[in-house]
Structure 1
């Protein structure tokens, strides 16, 4: 039951706070209107109706039951002068034959009907829906109909309407103030959430300034401290990795020079291969470090980037199995996205080159939906066993069977790709391609 009710409750903090604030006010208003004002209104209306009914009964008795009745004109003149009742006797008239219609929802109709039944035993009818603001009562006498008219104020109290209008108006003003106050309290939370989302996507939004209540300020300050610690940690890691990689290049260069001067031999060739392998590792470290560098976010046409990568990669020699290679690109027209262009280009280039290295046909597709852009890079190569698809993202992990290490790198390509994609708030994973090879699926939030 409670779960069913929760489906209709607001989910945001603003809606829930507003509901908690307004629900007691509305409930109190309803209870007050039903219990107090309805009872008060019915009591006042009943007494007013009884007063009018008693006055009409007086007129009837004054005319019918006195031994020496007063002149009718004098009676009616006294009624209009002292009781504000306009009375007219219609000789020979009869009440309408249709049945009196009493509106069940009208307090005036119900109270007047009850009062007339208590004060008069004669047939009667009344009309409370006249356009001139009068209440008309018809009483059937022996030789005619007594018609009595008076202002509806005599039998209907309007003070309750005034009180209700004042109460509702005041409540609306207070609700408006509450809504404005809550919006001001929720706005810093929304800015904080927007900043956290942008930081998770690697985008630089305007700085967050702590505002709002004490708790919101504390949350904003904690977020800013966390953001600064993460940036400092990434910067230190990048600087250290770049420095180590750069320092390693100097002794490697000296070793290559010394090996070149030592002549040719099997041992020398083995050492040269080791040095070249170390150079590739250092290059991989530098590529990984460049992926961590602080690059400005720019609005990039991802479709154009994919077209350029496909054209350049297809014409680059040295990859593949020596057979004809093909790259097919298909993408939606509007793929504008805020990205770090250099990092994303290196990421996609690594993935495309990896697909070309192990397959002959590569298909690149990019589709956009309401929340993200999906990029799929498919090849027809040997693929990667499902049990190892997560392990290949670990640094320096290299497959022995599915990928030939002689044609591969140092095991940082997919690590760099995942790092770049996640720094943009996206995700990357491996699947089986329709051609039977490997599919690299990337999802970037818009």
Structure 2
């Protein structure tokens, strides 16, 4: 089908405004949920997503229509880093993740992408993604069922269930734009129900100013940056997931817009864009950024590929972050509302890992694959930890590293890679792993 707007085509003013707001809504629910769960300022997350998107567009020379939002992969690592040494530690860890993205981009530019596919095949990345979702399951259930004192509350659980039900119904039974923003609709619906049962207090909104500077976390102002191997071990190994996810997004986006974005501007450019966006976010107190599948879905429906639309969405996100009333309104969202949405989102994360294994036809009749997946799942979900002096590897990070090692050392890898790269040659591009 013919595009409504080509990538470099500038839309009319009204069209530009509406399409940009649509992309803002598509990413809003998920982007705000991450800081809500990790104790960050949602307004800062909005601003950093806008800044990151503009940086991504600049680095990819305006050739990749993508919006960057908060990465779910880093929810548990951010919480663990903050528990280890405060908010500054999480920001230093995010900065290191951005540097890793940049190094991976450099390696891809100089050596190609096959080494990355060998390091991160579906049998490693799929179970790691499942660990991310399942590892957060208890957090979602606790948010949906417990009151502020951590005790079971039927009222809170009813709010969580209503929010979940609205989100599911919108996702399954609606079409068009609504089907792209079930999380946002679910949060709004759950919020209204929570208001009727007395869980919403508008005092903060009434007292808030229209213009307000968010709670930025700035290095050398709010904390003194320092390197820690423990934080490195908590945050950096998790980068394999958004990198794999990014590759999948670029392949899907290439099909949507009808251009090989992996070839031009190149996978190295888009991964570098992710890295710079994450570095910028870490400098203001926002979570690591990643390309958003929700916004790719919007592109597929609207066929409006104009890069100007994404520039508009990024500018709106930055402006929203400085509106004090908006920030105050976000802070009034009851915990069970976010818990109800999280039940679905974390389950979808786990299911997407399973989907990766199915789509790549991973054979679990093969003992090698069965062993790798089993070890990753139990170590990751079980919360295993390895302490080496002052360095601690735990949960998902440890599971990721062990999964990579098992894939490299267990016999049979060569035959798997032959099939993988045959698929690449048939498709004319790298195999889909996310």
**TM-score, length of structure 2 as denominator length:** 0.17
Rg (Cα) greater in structure: 1
* Structure 1 or 2: more strand by fraction: 1
Task: Point out which structure has higher relative CO (alpha carbons under 8 A, 6+ apart).
Answer: 2
* Structure 1 or 2: more helix by fraction: 2
